[in-house]
Structure 1
Amino acid sequence: MTIFIQPSALAVQTTYIVGAGGTYRPFEYENSNKELEGFDIDLIKAIAHVEGFQVQLVNTPWEGIFATLDNGDRDIIISGITITEKRKQSVDFSLPYFPAEQVIVGQKGTEITSIASLKDKIVGVVNGSTGDIVISTVLGRNNTAIRRFDNTPLLLQELYEEGIDAAVGDVGVVKFYIKMHPGKAFDLVYDNAFEPQYFGIAVEKGNTDLKNKIDAGLKKIIVDGTYHKIYEKWFDSNTPKLPIDIE
């Protein structure tokens, strides 16, 4: 008896090795089982699903993460990577998938409306962060009104306890903290003076086929609502509008 097998049954899905850091909660971090999870992890899995490929996740330290594309150890890296012109010279980026903007955090009912209104306030930042750089420019690097903290949880706890008047930090990290601490109410204040920045998924320079797959998958999960569900899981229901043309 002759058995006919449909061609699709013979198809083997391509597996791409994905590098992601394990220390940038909530984008990628190791859980108690030493498995990577986070917004970025859910996102790349969703893209892989709609594009019909598999991913093998590998915890990859930030230092040297770009080199793993050059030497072939990784096919994709997704690790809260801000798209910059300098980085575009060595890797190819997907379409932007997350607005990596800074946000001002005030106590509930704050009268703070902009960066300019921070000049007479005690402002907290994470030491060495983008927020630190921005506020140091506005208030002066050695201004004693700037309080520097080791991480965002410490920063926002101090704000909650009214030890500082406002904080400036990465919007994703701030939103995740607020989601995890529903009893602590804050107001978020956006200012166009913050330079717009976005995270992108990186592939080896010249790997247009893989980049196109990722871009196509990202568009699909935006259209079908998957992106919104992932965003809501980690942050809130205010899904950002990305600078992507959806046909």
Structure 2
Amino acid sequence: MLANRRITWIAAGLAALALAGCGKQEPVTATTAPAPPATARVLVVGTDAAYTPFESQNEKGEIAGFDIDVVKAIAGKAGFEVKFVNTPWEGIFNALDQGDRDLLVSAITITGERRQTMDFSKPYFEAKQLIAVRRDAQVATFDDVKAMKVGVQNGTTGDEVVGKLQGKSSGNIKRFESTPLALKELEAGGVQAVVADNGVVEHYLANNPGGGFKTVSDAAFPVEQYGIAVKKGNAELLARINKGLDDIKADGSYDKIYAAHFGSAPK
């Protein structure tokens, strides 16, 4: 009886080995997880978080603002996740070009020069340059600041237009890391005017009513359009961003975000 059991066990063992041998001939796919598509990973968004109300850091150190809410809403519609990384303006475009950032949102004006090195989404915001001066300043047009000390944020369109007016190397142009810093310098008397995007200037003045400023608009300033930037040639991501932007405009989400940051829906 014991011998019969041993024979039975040996037979069973040989059968198991035979089955195992057959199993090795099949491709092992059931236990190998497929690699996730590139679009499934979290996309890194570069933003210079010093441009209230578009992007800034709150008391918790979180990056928040109009641009941030717009991209979050677009990502929700387009089906990707995003992570925002504070990126100084001076190096923000280089970070995109090197692949350290997947996209940029930072009140970036779409220009022909920038289009040569990166691609832009459809415009999501219209802006104009605005002049901030002391209330008693005799300034009615942009030409009136030609001989003044003017504060600008380095590398912005405000910097560009003042550079064209006074000369790029003019000693009267004082460049700052952010527009709020330039406006603080105006308040302190270190500059006589500041030229910057209207959204940032108006927000600063509304939240600093004791600054003694007024704003001056000039019809010579062209309308500027902000876009979300992606690396040159990244057509797939650009298409998804544009589709998401279309969707949030169609369902009213964009208008709600706009009103939350600027007091009313865009006209």
Larger radius of gyration: 2
Name the CA shift for 1:58/1:173 in 2 (closer, same or farther; >3 Å).
Answer: same
Letter paired with 2:232: K
Q: Deviation of residue 24 (structure 1)?
A: 2.9
1:103 Cα deviation (Å)?
0.9
| Root-mean-square deviation (Å) | 3.6
Structure 1 or 2: more helix by fraction: 2
- State the TM-score, normalized to the length of structure 2: 0.64
Measured after TM superposition, the shift of residue 100 of structure 1 is: 4.7
User: Residue 121 of structure 2 contacts residue 242 of structure 2 at CA under 8 Å; is this kept in 1?
Assistant: yes
Aligned to 1:51: 78
Deviations 1:83-128 (A, max 9, x none): 2333323332101122353212245597744213445x74532264
Q: In the TM superposition, what are the counterparts of 1:206-217 in structure 2 within 5 Å?
A: 206-217=233-244
Instruction: State the identity as a percent.
Output: 40
1:51–1:147 Cα change, 3 Å: closer
**Are residues 1:35 and 2:35 paired?**
no
**Bigger shift: residues 189-198 or 127-136:** 127-136
Change (3 A) 1:76 1:133: closer
Hey, what's the Cα distance between the residues in 2 that align with 1:88 and 1:134?
19
Q: Mark the CA change 1:66 to 1:49 in structure 2 (over 3 Å): closer, same or farther.
A: same
The unaligned stretches of length 5 or more in structure 1 are: 1-12, 242-247
Match of 1:148 among 174, 188, 204: 174
Q: Distance in 1 between matches of 2:240 and 2:247?
A: 11
Residue in structure 2 matched with residue 169 of structure 1 by the alignment: 196
Change (3 A) 1:221 1:188: farther
Specify the SS of the correspondent of 1:66: helix
Distance of aligned partners of 1:149 and 1:39 in 2 relative to their CA distance in 1, 3 Å threshold:
same
Amino acid at match of 1:51: A
The alignment partner of 1:167 has SS state of: strand
How far is the alpha carbon of 1:182 from its aligned partner? 4.3
**Does the 8 Å CA contact 1:160/1:184 hold for their aligned counterparts?**
yes
When the two structures are superposed, what TM-score results if normalisation uses the length of structure 1?
0.68
User: Aligned pair in 2 of structure 1 residues 90, 148: CA closer, same or farther (>3 Å)?
Assistant: closer
